[in-house]
Structure 1
Amino acid sequence: MLRLNLSRTTSAHLLRQASHLAIGFGSQTGTAMTFAAELSKEAAVHAHTASLVAANDLVPLNSLPPDAVLVLICASCGEGEPTDNARELMAHLEATSSSLDGRQFAVFGLGNSAAYPERFNVVAKALHTRLVELGGEPLTPLGLGDDAGLNGHWIDDDFDAWKDSLWTALKTTSQPPTKPDAARAPGVVIATHASDAGRAAREQYHAHIEHCRANFPVSLTHPALLKTSCNIELHAPNSQRSARHIELDASATPLRYATGDHVGIIPRNCSAKVARVLDMLQLDPHQFISVPATRNPAHAAIVHGELVEVPTAVASIFEAHKDLTGPPSAAVLASLAELAADPGEAAVLADRAAAARTHATLDGSEYRPSLADVITDAPSLAGRLALEKLLDIAPPMKARFYSIASAAEASPTQIDLTVSVLRYGLCSNYLAGLEPGSVVRAFARDSGFRLPSDPTLPVMLIGAGAGVAPLRAFWRARQMLRARGAALGPAHLYLGCDRRGVDDLYADDIAAALSDGALTTATIAAQHEPSPSGAVFVQDYLRQGDHAARVRDLVAAGGSIYVCGRETTLGVGTKAAFTDLLGNQVFDAFVRSGRFAQDVFA
């Protein structure tokens, strides 16, 4: 059970003199947990106390101190499901009839309006509605964080606005304390350990971790350790893109999945990058430290199944548990600017902080330097950015999710990934560099992306780039059914790419599936090679001739359509094409029937 802080102490005089915030997070990748930890740390600045736990650990709610303010920060995952660490709370609220007797509460949700507009923040909305039904009193309007990044607006902006409204609602009647200097505020409280004692403690704890992995469900907090068995490039050598086909062996773990699921990967920072940061800051990478939970009420003491309370080498903590590769927030940059001894470096950091507040960059490019690069570009931080402060400002490592490209029917203990390698992507570059035998921390997540239970019904599979991953899983599942003698309905594949023969992924797999009848047709839309009819993108083909007739016939026959790719291009484009072909009413009814499924990303 994930507990970041078990303290639930509260003042005898809560009212408006000071409040105790019982903060619960529902987090799948770590963003909601990061927001919750940020809120917990700020509570003291506003003269309040706080406890921080996974949302499930708040059950039953009547066990909370009677005057505690309930604060929930919960993400919606998949097509609107609660995260694993919020499911129990959701079920408890649905089943209970116990009144909240006016308990004050606030809810902030994390969602993506572009990926699933009709299911946007459905978990937070349900929580807020149910708490009101049970007699709770909302302190603030429901906060709806949107990670779509539309029109330069980001989820951090939504959280900051909601957080400000919460502090305003909780403002004390007494004079608020002066806000401490953020840069020089104390960081986490650590304890140091002799190397021998630290190694002995780690060996004992590793045995405990192995016990947990064998006896607890695989999850973000208890990930399985998968071995890399294959890692190859999918694009031709003359391509300007890179995508890797990676196979992970789960046979020695309890991790299992269903065809169409996602896998969460917890990456690691490059060891050379970590060494560079620690060296510049004059921090000993081999020093064993621990972070006692009882002395750090606002910090995560358990991350990804590894207790930081157990003595751990500094380098190991920053390689596995802290994200040094992502761009730092405006608040972190401002703190670094105040710490820098060199006026020129301080000015650059302050300018970066100002740009980060509007999600811009200093040079107008898309590149935002990583936290590691920002630190190493400011040598005057050496001796001033202490280990305790670095542990405080570096965000926790978040999981990244990928659609599984293998079929559980064919290989239940092997997980295939199709990974587009992004220039500055932490996880994609981490995965691209895996050697055979390398161990990866991973867990599966139900995506709700499923083939029809009746394999004789027609299906249409639409993807672009690495969006081919779950579609490959689908046609491989159909190959297994065909091999077992099952009757199959037609399956029509549409894939977008840059150039045929160069960027069309899994061409040999597709040819084999066409040959054995798992696929009926395959249409490749090459962006740089328009068809004679002028079609460039998948949605262009869908509007034309036989393809348009195929769409109408499939819908009339009770078939299903599956789309996987970028929402802002493929997702929007295919929806527009289907609306044009079928009309608004027919397409809306088709979506409501559950026969139109998307696995899209922003």
Structure 2
Amino acid sequence: MPSPFASWPLSPDLLQDLSKVMTPTGVADYIALTLLSMVSATYLSRGILWDQPDPYNYLWYERPQLKMGGAAGANARQETRNIAQKLEEAEKNVVVFWGSQSGTAEGFAHRLAREIALRFRQGTMTADLSDYDPETIAQIPPSKLAIFILSTYGEGDPSDNTAEFWDWINKAQDVSLANVRYCAFGLGNSNYKFYNRVVDVVAQALDRRGAQSLLPVGRANDAEGATQEDFISWKDDLFTMCKDHLGFAEGEVQYLPTMAVEEDESLEPIDLHHGEPDVRETTKASAQCSPVRPVTIASARELFEASDRHCLHMDLDLSSVPEFTYKTGDHLAIWPSNPDAEVERLLQVLGLAARRDIPISIKSLDAATKVRVPTPTTAAALLRYYLEVCAPVNRDHVLGLAQFAPTPEAKTYLLQLGQDKATYANFINRTHVNLGRLLQLAAPDTPWSALPLSYLVETLAPIQPRYYSISSSSVLAPRKPSITAIVSTTPVPENPEELVHGVTSNYLLALSENRRDATHPHGLTYHLNGPSDALQGGQVFAHLRKSKFKLPRVGSCPLIMVAAGTGLAPFRAFISERRQLQQIGRDVGEMILFFGCRRPDEDYIYRDELAELQAALGDRLRIVTAFSRQAGTPRQYVQDRIAECGNDVIRLLDEGANLYICGRAGMARDVEKTVGQAMQQTKGWSASQWNDWSKAFKKRGKWQEDVWG
């Protein structure tokens, strides 16, 4: 349609008048025109010169379950988040909820659900707590049974995938759970102050809202190495309750697969997962973690002087991964592969060596059961990259394997080993037994051709990343984070010549040795180039995880840092960053570092660096050491040195210091006890006053811990 102004006549007089009006006549007019031109240019260049969209912004809004994309992602989008509706649709009577940080609670949940289904023929499903809206738990009818398996880590914290449920169960008002019948089991460690706090708080909250507990809360204690046996004992009580109270009829336990693993030679290599990490399961808190990417190892060096112990410092290069950014105190996760010897052992014993690279497709036979590993793939990739094949076999699995024994003698061997707790405990004290080794021991010269791959997929835990505290400052090395990893090699208690090798740390050691054309000191080999040579040139699959273990915003805030062993890693970064502040003329608060190790000439890591930092910082940094195995001197631990320096510790706390602890949980517990005793003695406080003060201090983020085990 033509413009209504198109027919207007533009006479010469009109044009002359317009020219007079639009011609600048003074300074103000020129300024106005200049500003108008700048505004116009700025607006027109939007999205070209400025305000460009972040190409990685979408990562922060993805649900981790949808990251895989394709069919899996589409299916996940269509699934209901109402657990009561899901139970009805899937025709399930029992749901096993899990909250897991390292994968143990998740493994227990799948194991329990499978056994309930086989033993009692009850429709049973597992449920990741982050996959369902917590308020829908109230809609579960009284004819169903809810089971909660929940881990506690850190300072009594819930796992990442439990966060939404945790907030709801503790804060929801006017919620009735009178319809809900439940049982609960917790995983914890008594070395931590808040042992099994999560399951206790959840059970109390359920009870307050009217839920009916059918069994006393079960608790596993990893400090005593009793997690597996604690779970088995509680599970036996649960099964007794199911028979006596719920009237479940117990039948003969026979293996009924929930997954089908089928060879499919029509698939092309491009269709397969060759070992890349399963991004669907990277994390249940996508806002806290980056995606998984290949990252280059820039350099690696040994930190220990001892020839029989190894500790690695590794610098990583993020140049090829622009979406990776970290802050001082964050964690870096390494995705390992299993050693060649264990992969080959299983392929041979299962009779799959000749068909290791044939494509296999893994499908769920139950709508409520998710496939926990990438598919399609191959048997070799499955055993090398996706399943924890080096983990010890628990008694339940020993008994479960007996039904697939290739000989009567093998079946008898497994039944005798698995049926008696004392016999099994004595056995694992004499030898390290993972799945492959156990199968070889039970039937030395006979392949286990009747043991289906589906059973391994269902019973073995998916391989998990291992997290390391970043030991570099993001201010000094924003694109080169470093990690500090002690290499785990533990002798079997009653057979010191037999060693148990930590999966990830020995994988890193092999990578480090390969950089200088050397071999692993114990002869372990790995496929270091990774799946489809994706890690060629010295790379690892890794991702970053945000941490709350942070320096105070104010550089003048005093610091008290307590570390043992590789717990020193984040404090290396803290002190380096404080030194940088000092160099640019900023005021730096007083710092005390308490550090403990065995001997000063063996495992005092970063000793020369710390000496240089101490010399540069002068009276701003004091380093107090404790050596537990130094010849000619009594054993000392960091808590002993804190007791000796109690006055200085309390003075700094009074001056507003932040206190940080990094290392084993048992050490952290002893440090807190020592600080508490010093505060009570100096200030004349009662135990109650100390507890009130420490709770408030931690709530303000002034007392932070990064601890494990």
Q: How much does 1:258 deviate?
A: 3.8
Distance 1:465 1:42 in 2: 41
Does residue 571 of the first structure (1) align with residue 690 of the second (2)? Answer: no
Q: Contact (CA 8 Å) 1:458, 1:559: kept in 2 or not? A: yes
**Which among 394, 400, 404 is matched to residue 470 of structure 2?**
404
| AA of the residue aligned to 1:574 | V
C-alpha distance in structure 2 between counterparts of 1:185 and 1:599, whole Å:
42
Q: Higher mean Cα deviation, 165-174 or 389-398?
A: 165-174
TM-score by length of 1: 0.83
Which residue, out of 554, 558, 564, partners 1:464?
A: 564
* Mapping 1:103-182, distance limit 5 Å: 103-115=180-192, 117=193, 119-149=194-224, 154-171=226-243, 176-181=249-254
Report if the CA contact (8 A) 1:59-1:92 is conserved.
no
Separation of aligned partners in 2, 1:453 and 1:359: 53
CA contact 1:37–1:298 (8 Å) conserved in 2: no
Instruction: Sort the Cα spacing of 1:502 and 1:210 in 2 relative to 1 into closer, same or farther, 3 A.
Output: closer
Correspondence 1:20 to 2:97: no
Does 1 or 2 have the higher relative contact order (CA < 8 Å, sep 6+)? 1
Aligned to 2:24: none
Q: CA deviation at 1:203?
A: 7.5
In structure 2, the partner of 1:189 is: 260
Give SS of 1:286's match: coil
Pair 145,223 (structure 1): closer, same or farther in 2 beyond 3 Å: farther
Please tell me whether the aligned partners of residues 590 and 596 of structure 1 are also in contact (alpha carbons under 8 angstroms).
no
The RMSD of aligned alpha carbons is 3.7
SS at match of 1:334: helix
Shift, 1:267, TM fit: 2.4
Q: What is the rounded CA distance, in whole Å, between the counterparts of 2:253 and 2:456 in structure 1? A: 17
Distance of aligned partners of 1:326 and 1:524 in 2 relative to their CA distance in 1, 3 Å threshold: same
Q: Secondary structure at the match of 1:127?
A: helix
- CA contact under 8 A between 1:80 and 1:121: conserved in structure 2? yes
Per-residue CA deviations over 1:478-535 (Å, capped at 9, x if unaligned) read 2333344321111111222222233210112212321331861223323333687x56
Could you tell me which residue of structure 1 aligns to residue 295 of structure 2? 226
Whole-angstrom CA distance in 1 between matches of 2:424 and 2:167: 38
CA displacement at 1:316 relative to structure 2:
0.5
In the other structure, the counterpart of 2:450 is 384
Identify the range of structure 1 (421-430 vs 518-527) with the bigger mean alpha-carbon deviation.
Answer: 518-527
Counterpart of 2:641 in 1: which secondary structure? helix
1:73 alignment counterpart: 149
> Whole-Å Cα distance in 2 between the matches of residues 368 and 555 of structure 1?
47
Residue 376 (structure 1) shift: 3.4
| Aligned mates of 1:493, 1:350 — CA distance in 2 | 53
Structure 2 residue ranges without an equivalent (≥5): 1-62, 67-71, 490-499, 516-536, 681-685
Query: Judging changes above 3 Å, is the alpha-carbon distance between structure 1 residues 136 and 458 closer, same or farther for their aligned structure 2 residues?
Result: same
**Does the aligned pair in 1 maintain the 2:594–2:623 contact within 8 Å?**
yes
Summarize deviations over 1:22-61 as a string: whole Å, max 9, x none: 3322222111110111122122122321222310112154
The 5 Å alignment of 1:288-437 reads: 288-293=359-364, 295-296=365-366, 300-303=370-373, 307-308=374-375, 311-342=376-407, 345-346=410-411, 348-350=413-415, 352-353=417-418, 360-362=425-427, 364-365=429-430, 368-377=432-441, 378-379=443-444, 380-423=446-489, 424=500, 425-434=502-511, 437=537
Q: Does 1:581 align with 2:655?
A: no
User: Unpaired runs of 5+ in structure 1?
Assistant: none
Q: Deviations over 1:182-223 (max 9, x none)?
A: xx55474212211x52423238998x989999xx93778964
**Within-5 A mapping of 1:471-486:** 471-486=571-586
The amino acid across from 1:103 in the alignment is V
The aligned amino acid for 2:213 is P
The residue that corresponds to 1:601 in the other structure is 708
Structure 2: how far apart are the matches of 1:587 and 1:50?
47
Q: Within the alignment, does 1:521 sit opposite 2:619 as a pair?
A: no
User: Residues of 2 paired with 1:77 and 1:418: CA distance?
Assistant: 21
The alpha-carbon distance between structure 1 residues 450 and 121, as it changes in their structure 2 partners (threshold 3 A), is farther
1:452 CA displacement: 3.2
Q: CA deviation at 1:127?
A: 2.8
**Equivalent of residue 652 in structure 2, options 544, 548, 554:** 554
> What residue is the counterpart of 1:489 in the other structure?
589
Of 314-323 and 75-84, the range deviating more from structure 2: 75-84
Distance in 2 of aligned mates of 1:173 and 1:211 = 36
**Structure 1 counterpart of 2:129:** 55
- Which amino acid letter does the alignment assign opposite residue 21 of structure 1? V
Equivalent pair of 2:406/2:449 in contact (CA under 8 Å): no
1:550-595 residue CA offsets vs partner (Å, 9 max, x unmatched): 2232233232332222333x33543454344333647545532224
Instruction: Determine which of 140, 161, 175 is the counterpart of 1:85.
Output: 161
Separation in 1, partners of 2:178, 2:610: 60
Aligned partner of residue 197 in structure 1, secondary structure: coil
What are the Cα deviations for residues 38-85 of structure 1, in whole angstroms up to 9, with x where unaligned?
A: 122122122321222310112154386645433332223332333232
Q: Is the 8 A contact 1:339 1:381 kept in 2?
A: no
Residues 599/234 of structure 1: CA separation in 2 closer, same or farther (3 Å cut): same
1:43 is aligned to 116
How far apart, CA to CA, are the structure 2 residues paired with 1:558 and 1:320? 48
Change (3 A) 1:513 1:76: same
One-letter code aligned to 2:99? G
Identity %: 26
8 Å CA contact 1:46, 1:167 repeated in 2: no
- 1:286 maps to 357
1:201 pairs, out of 263, 268, 271, with: 271
2:404/2:448 contact within 8 Å kept: no
Q: What CA distance in whole angstroms lies between the structure 2 residues aligned with 1:341 and 1:559?
A: 65
Task: Name the CA distance, whole Å, in 1 between partners of 2:280 and 2:394.
Answer: 37
Contact 1:218 1:254 in 2 (8 A): no
Whether contact under 8 Å (2:128, 2:161) holds in the other structure is yes
Query: SS of the residue aligned with 2:473?
Result: coil
Q: How many residues are treated as equivalent by the alignment?
A: 575
Q: 1:203 to 1:389 in 2, by over 3 A?
A: closer
Structure 1 equivalent of residue 334 of structure 2? 265
2-side partners of 1:540 and 1:12: how far apart?
60
d(CA) in 2 for partners of 1:390, 1:356: 23
SS of structure 2 residue aligned to 1:362: helix
* Partner SS, residue 121 of structure 2: coil
Following the alignment from structure 1 to structure 2, what is the Cα–Cα distance between the partners of residues 336 and 211? 29
d(CA) in 1 for partners of 2:211 and 2:87?
A: 20
Q: Deviations over 1:434-469 (max 9, x none)?
A: 256444344444553333343323222221211211
Normalization by structure 2: what TM-score?
0.72
**d(CA) in 2 for partners of 1:239, 1:497:** 16
Deviation string 1:157-206 (CA, Å, 9 cap, x unpaired) is 3333433344344437667142324xx55474212211x52423238998
Structure-2 change in CA distance of 1:385 and 1:83 (3 Å):
same
Distance 2:703 2:422 in 1: 38
Q: Is the 8 A contact 2:103 2:461 kept in 1?
A: no
Q: In structure 2, what is the Cα distance between the partners aligned to 1:559 and 1:478?
A: 14
Deviation at 1:432, TM superposition (A): 1.9
SS in 2 for 1:29: coil
| Preserved contact between residue 259 and residue 407 of structure 1 (Cα < 8 Å) | yes
Q: Write the distance in 2 (CA, Å) between the matches of 1:43 and 1:474.
A: 50
Moved segments of 4+, more than 6 Å: 3-9, 11-14, 203-206, 208-213, 218-221, 355-359
Out of 44-53 and 377-386, give the one that drifted further. Answer: 377-386
Asked if the contact 2:275/2:384 (under 8 Å) is kept, the reply is no
Which is worse superposed, 465-474 or 261-270?
261-270
Indicate if the aligned counterparts of 1:192 and 1:288 stay in contact, CA closer than 8 A: yes
